A and B are shown apart, each in its own frame.
Chain A
Amino acid sequence: MGLKARVHVYPKPGVLDPQGRAIGQALGHLGFTGVAEVRQGKLIELSLSETDPAKARAQADEMCRRLLANTVIENYAIEIVPQGGR
């Protein structure tokens, strides 16, 4: 059974994230104090046929650089987990 790559893509520090800011304001209106900053990113799950974790990570990294993330404005992080894993 292959592996799952969980790709987190999120705005770089210093890049204005108006959606995160709006969410932070809404949390404040709901009475949640103590949230200094909200940054909103996205999570992309890839079910891969690859079974070798190092190769799976290399594949996902290539996908991030070529399409999944725009490294001018976004950073990304990759987790490799078993298929069906949490």
Chain B
Amino acid sequence: MKAAVVVFPGSNCDRDVKVALEQATSKPVHMVWHGEAELPKLDLIVLPGGFSYGDYLRSGAMAAHSPVMGTVVERAKQGVAVLGICNGFQILTEAGLLPGALLPNAGLKFICRDVHVRVEQSQTVFTNACEAGSVLRIPIAHHDGQYFADADVLDRLEGEGQVAFRYCQGPAAGPANPNGSARDIAGVFNAGRTVLGLMPHPERAVDPLHGGSDGRALFQSLVAALA
């Protein structure tokens, strides 16, 4: 699997996700500066977490127009897998690759803690190592994580199997909603399920020393599907 991580000014999880990918693939991961418009042939493009452009204007709004993003949009349309984590998710919605938007958390606080998310779809390049309905414990760290979309868009996402993850209280437990997200949504796919955006940080849960390694399932899924 040839993977690249895009580095924007203000990205701060770029190296973490590189480590997580290299742990899963045992292959070097390319780091691409956002100002580069050319990309090598790739199987996976990752937009990492952080605070690109200081979250000025709106989270992800400036990064969505970085030179590299024209190429990312093009590759995504060709079916190349694109993963956006946290700020990467915000960038994907601002770039129009995923529906909806991320608003400030309903409680107006930055939330940094472990949450549980339920895997809604297992037949995807991102989640094939998970059972549908299984629960992962992964950290969130965001101020603007409230997923919003119009009711008809939400209905369509649910009907077409584009909801990737939902917040929940734990295995075999009820729903949860740390940030006010519509329908407890923590992550969504595009229509082809080749683009995933999620607020939780799987790359921060890939080693027992992180306090958990549930995030590995995502990277293992990608290797299984794309290697």
Write the residues of chain A forming the contact surface with B, with a CB cutoff of 8 angstroms.
15-16, 18-19, 22, 66-68, 70, 72-73
Cβ B149 vs Cβ A72 within 8 A: yes
Q: Place the interface of chain B in its size category.
A: 20 to 34
Q: 1/0 contact trace for B140-159 toward A, CB 8 Å?
A: 00000010111000000000
Task: Please give me the residue from chain A that is nearest to B99 by CB atom.
Answer: A72
By a CB distance below 8 angstroms, the chain A residues around B57 are 67-68
Write the residues of chain B forming the contact surface with A, with a CB cutoff of 8 angstroms.
57-58, 61-62, 65, 93-94, 100-101, 103-108, 146, 148-150, 180
Cβ A73 vs Cβ B61 within 8 A: no
Cβ B61 vs Cβ A70 within 8 A: yes
Query: What distance in Å separates the Cβ of B138 from its nearest Cβ neighbour in chain A?
Result: 24
A52 CA to B128 CA, complexed, in Å: 57
Cβ A18 vs Cβ B148 within 8 A: no
Q: A15-B148, A16-B180 are in contact. Are A70 and B105 (CB under 8 A)?
A: no
Show 27 A/B contacts (Cβ-Cβ < 8 Å), sorted by A. A15-B103, A15-B148, A16-B103, A16-B146, A16-B148, A16-B180, A18-B106, A18-B107, A18-B108, A18-B180, A22-B108, A66-B65, A67-B57, A67-B61, A67-B65, A68-B57, A70-B58, A70-B61, A70-B94, A72-B100, A72-B101, A72-B148, A72-B149, A72-B150, A73-B101, A73-B103, A73-B148
A73 CA to B99 CA, complexed, in Å: 11
A69 CA to B108 CA, complexed, in Å: 21
Task: Please give me the residue from chain B that is nearest to A68 by CB atom.
Answer: B57
A22 CA to B108 CA, complexed, in Å: 9
Q: A16-B146, A18-B107, A22-B108 are in contact. Are A70 and B65 (CB under 8 A)?
A: no
